[in-house]
Amino acid sequence: MSSLQGYVDRRVLLILQDGRAIVGVMAGFDQKSNVVLSDSKERVYSMEEGVEEIPLGLYLVKGDMIILIGELDETLDKAVDLATIRAEPIPPIRY
Amino acid sequence: MLPLSLLNAAQNKPMLVELKNGETCNGHLINCDNFMNITLRDVYQTNSDGDRFWKLKECYIRGSTIKYLRIPDILLDAVKEEQVRAREVGRNTRGAHAGGPGNRGGRGASTRGGRGRGGPMRGGRGRGRGVQ
């Protein structure tokens, strides 16, 4: 059985169907992959300026919306200066 | 921790709900169910562009249309503490009534005790416990 249990209390990156990238600590999840993120921040990517981090706090994301969950390598992540990163934002999924 | 237990604990608390179509609803949670259908009171609704607003006294949102909910930070600690407390109570009542019938432990404790008696303390816990 595949499970999200291994991600609990770890800092994770969530990619949503609308192209948003959210990092936060996974506080919990359920059978439908609904996810609770604490201390979460949205990372807004653009080609014009560095990555902008918007604090969001406690978030409950519906499993339907989630495309990807990945564990963040915190040491590596802290070593990166987000202000220097320029990247195309992920476009939303269109049906 | 289960997302739904967090949501249940958020009753009467303010929250922001974004729907899949991008609209948002700001209001206080009245009630919710296991489908994450929710009712909010004193709602400010905005369209997906965020340039038009509506004020609603009350609204119902079907769970399947929700993208995410933004909940007050303090609720996480509140729910965690509550879980610890519930666990303590469970342990105490189980220990006290292991030998005799007794009906003071309440319904929850006695049903659990029934499963737990055969094996070690932890064996009685439901399967659901594995998922935090």
Per mean pLDDT, which range of A33-37, A51-55, B87-91 is the poorest? B87-91
Chain B: nearest CA to A4, how far in angstroms? 9
Closest residue in chain B to residue A63, using alpha carbons only? B67
pLDDT per residue as tens digits for the range B44-64:
999 999 999 999 999 999 999
Contact A16, A61 (CB under 8 A): yes
B69 chain-A contacts, CB cut-off 8 A: 59-60
* A and B: number of Cβ contacts within 8 A: 70
Residue B19: per-residue pLDDT: 96
Contact B45, B53 (CB under 8 A): yes
A70 membership: H or E segment, kind and range? strand A66-71
Chain B interface includes A21 (CB < 8 A): no
The complex's ipTM? 0.91
Interchain pair B71, A60: CB under 8 A: yes
B130 chain-A contacts, CB cut-off 8 A: 5
Does residue B113 register a pLDDT over 50?
no
Chain B: nearest CA to A16, how far in angstroms? 9
Interchain pair A30, B72: CB under 8 A: no
Residue B121: per-residue pLDDT: 52
pTM: 0.78
Best residue of B13, B68, B127, B129 to probe chain A, by most A CBs closer than 10 Å: B68
* B:43-82 residues touching chain A, CB 8 A cutoff: 63-64, 66-73, 75-76
Chain A interface includes B131 (CB < 8 A): yes
Contact B85, B12 (CB under 8 A): no
Concatenated DSSP letters for A19-46?
Answer: S-EEEEEEEEE-TT--EEEEEEEEEE--
pLDDT per residue as tens digits for the range A27-51:
999 999 999 999 999 999 999 999 9
Closest residue in chain B to residue A30, using alpha carbons only? B2
Closest residue in chain B to residue A3, using alpha carbons only? B131
Closest residue in chain B to residue A26, using alpha carbons only? B1
Residue B83: per-residue pLDDT: 87
CA A4 to chain centre: 14
In the DSSP assignment, the letter for residue B20 is: T
